[in-house]
Amino acid sequence: MFGEKAVELIRELHRMSDGQLPAFNEDGLRQVLQEMEALYDQNQTDVNEAKAEGRAELIPSIKLRHCCLLRNQRCLAAYLYDRLLRIRALRWEYGSVLPPNVRFHMCAEELQWFAQYKKSLASFMRSFGGGEGLDITQDMKPPKSLYIEVRCLKDHGEFEIDDGTVVLLKKNSQHFLPRWKCEQLIRQGVLEHVVS
Amino acid sequence: MSDALSDHGSDIQQDDSQEEDVMTPAELIAKLEEAWLNEKFSPELLENKSEVVECVMEQLTHMESNLQRVKKGDVKASVHRMEIDRIRYVLCSYLRARLQKIERFFPHVLEKEKSRAEGEPSLLSPEEYAFAKEYYANTETYLKTVALKRMPANLQTVDLLKAVPEPCVDSFVFLRVKERQENILVEPETDDQREYVVDLEEGSQHLMRYRTIAPLVSSGAVQLI
Amino acid sequence: MDPSEVEFLAEKEVVKIIPNFSLDKVYLIGGDLGPFNPGLPVDVPVWLALNLKQRQKCRIVPPDWMDVEKLEEMRELERKENTFTPVPSPYYMELTKLLLNHASDNIPKADEIRTLVKDIWDTRIAKLRLSADSFITQQEAHAKLDNLTLMEINTIRTFLLDSLNCMYKLRSNLQPGSSKGQFTDY
């Protein structure tokens, strides 16, 4: 049935839990576009025939095909837009560098959209405090206590705290760090909050 | 203990040209917190408060630079550091809440900005406006390149204003009254009900539709909770 | 709203501490604190009180209402009345939790207090569920919610508001795709 393939694309996203990004379905997209082309061509032929030969009985099928075209367009837009929202959420979760397995699931145009989104967000955040900037992707949770104890899950190298001290984040080392400084590293799986 | 932190109770002067009087830093923080909660709970984007944001940023930067001169581990410094963390959290959370709405409703936000009458305050700060425009262009380009331009000739555009959901101003909200209001009209929910008016007493709390009280949120007469 | 954010707001409430250190007045952005002198009670926000307590720099004086006798009275009244009775603090639940978790050694009869506050909370939440239910069945357009705390409102916020929105959409019989919701409404 017409529109079936387009709905399947949407189901594919729907089946994934929130925040997960399945591989970009280029094949599915192409199939829908092919179906649209076929519908459109058929309509062009019928429209011409209806006009030239006055065959009014063709009009209902023309209308039906047009509805199918609109539906396909709408489904594709929904598929693509929902993926953008998921990609946007990844920027907030992982920071500006996405893990390779996530990038692998994105198409070239999505990578471009993401690069531009990062740029817009960065210049937005830089604008605060007379150009000094404010990273609003930090401080995601209300501050609880000044410092928390963290364990390092992988080698990360040197890490500067805002009072200027530098700590070396080595695998399995434990540190007492300002909570808000390590939030993102915890989300990235570099650090683990040691709950005493 | 250095005296670096002792010059801090002083008032901050608002821009000289403004008729507004001096606001103390404490009042400034209270303003930020109000704006934060209102923005969190209102279904639509509220008027920007960039002057509050900038003043808070100034306070934070000033305090941070003073803290650089204080030795580590000092009790006083840690108290200041905690307060900075708390204020920065509210500030970031506030800006995030706005940015999320801008992204979620971008065609509508831009449309509203476009149709804004002269002299009417802008919803968006200049930076938010720039962001929204870029977001719109970026998303439009993306949809075009990846799919629309590969579609039949009569289907190569999507009206984003129709395609992206609008904020639902008919949502219910919880609110606390800061300045007494009389004769607020409550519209009926069903056909067999009739409209009626309520008075909102100072300090009382209510559950009602956002649309009814939206102007009171902007004017500061009620606080969303 | 995340409960941690309500707790964050509760931490702004003022509580009395008895410090064991001296410190001059601290000029915070949000107002002045201190001076701190060993043994002399001083008012500070809860976030600071908890931190100083963690670092063993003070003793926290429980708020007046955090008292078995007073709470018992409140519990009885709350059970007797159909409406929500006034609470001793707009953040009574969060403060009880915070203070009992971090400073229970400074609060006499901590366990009894915990139970009493929990009882008051449960009674109020039961009332709240009933009123939410009747608000929906009566299809009301306005409700007065005096004496309810932010944390209490928060427990029903998402569920109640989503239900109301959903019912509104059903009632106003919005045609899918007519003008709104194209992207979300597959």
Residue predicted with more confidence, C160 or A182: C160
Q: Report the C-alpha gap between B50 and B70 in whole angstroms.
A: 30
In this predicted structure, the answer to whether residue B79 has a pLDDT above a threshold of 50 is: yes
Closest to A196 in 3D by CA, of A133, A137, A147, A149: A149
Question: Out of A74, A142, A145, whose CB is closest to C51?
Answer: A145
- Residue range C3-172, CATH number: 1.20.58.1020
Share of chain C above pLDDT 70, in %: 92
Helix, strand, coil proportions of chain A in percent (round to 5)? 55, 10, 30
Asked if A83 contacts A21 with a C-beta cutoff of 8 angstroms, the reply is: yes
Neighbour count for residue C162 (Cβ, 10 Å):
12
Closest to B46 in 3D by CA, of B118, B110, B101, B92: B101
Q: In terms of residues, how long is chain B?
A: 225
**Which residues of chain B make contact with A134, given a CB cutoff of 8 A?**
57, 88, 91-92, 95
Enumerate the H helices of B147-225 as residue ranges: 160-163, 210-219
Answer whether C186 sits within 8 Å of A78, measured CB to CB: yes
Chain B within 8 Å of C2 (Cβ-Cβ)?
Answer: no
Work out the angle between the directed axes of helices C110-137 and C68-80 (0-180°, nearest 10).
20
Q: What is the ipTM of this complex?
A: 0.90
Average pLDDT over residues C93-116: 94
Chain B within 8 Å of C158 (Cβ-Cβ)?
Answer: no
Supply the DSSP string of C7-55, one letter for each residue: HHHHTTSEEEEEESS-B--EEETTEEE--B-TT--EEEEHHHHHHHHHT
| A-B C-beta contacts closer than 8 Å | 118
Predicted confidence at residue B75, as pLDDT, reads: 78
Answer whether A74 sits within 8 Å of C5, measured CB to CB: no
| Lookup: tokens for B83 | 């307060």
Residue predicted with more confidence, B60 or A96: B60
User: In chain C, what are the domain boundaries?
Assistant: 3-172
Chain B within 8 Å of C73 (Cβ-Cβ)?
Answer: no
- The domains found in chain B, sorted by start residue, are 3-104 (1.20.58.1030), 168-225 (3.40.5.60)
In this predicted structure, the answer to whether residue B133 has a pLDDT above a threshold of 50 is: yes
User: In chain A, what are the domain boundaries?
Assistant: 4-126, 147-193
Distance, C-alpha C184 to centroid of its chain: 34
- Residue range A4-126, CATH number: 1.20.58.1030
Question: Out of A120, A132, A141, whose CB is closest to B131?
Answer: A120
Question: Out of A113, A135, A136, whose CB is closest to B138?
Answer: A113
Task: Pick from A128, A141, A148, A180 the residue to mutate for testing the B interface (most B CBs within 10 Å).
Answer: A128
pLDDT digits (tens, 9 = 90+) for B17-50: 444 567 899 999 999 999 999 999 999 999 999 9
Dmax (CA) of chain C: 70
What angle is formed at CA B92 by the lines to CA B88 and CA B97, rounded to 5 degrees?
A: 150
Question: Out of A78, A142, A144, whose CB is closest to C183?
Answer: A78
| Lookup: tokens for A115 | 């690069």
Q: Please list the rounded mean pLDDT of every run of 10 residues in chain A (196 residues).
A: 90 87 95 96 92 88 93 95 94 88 94 96 91 87 76 86 73 78 82 80
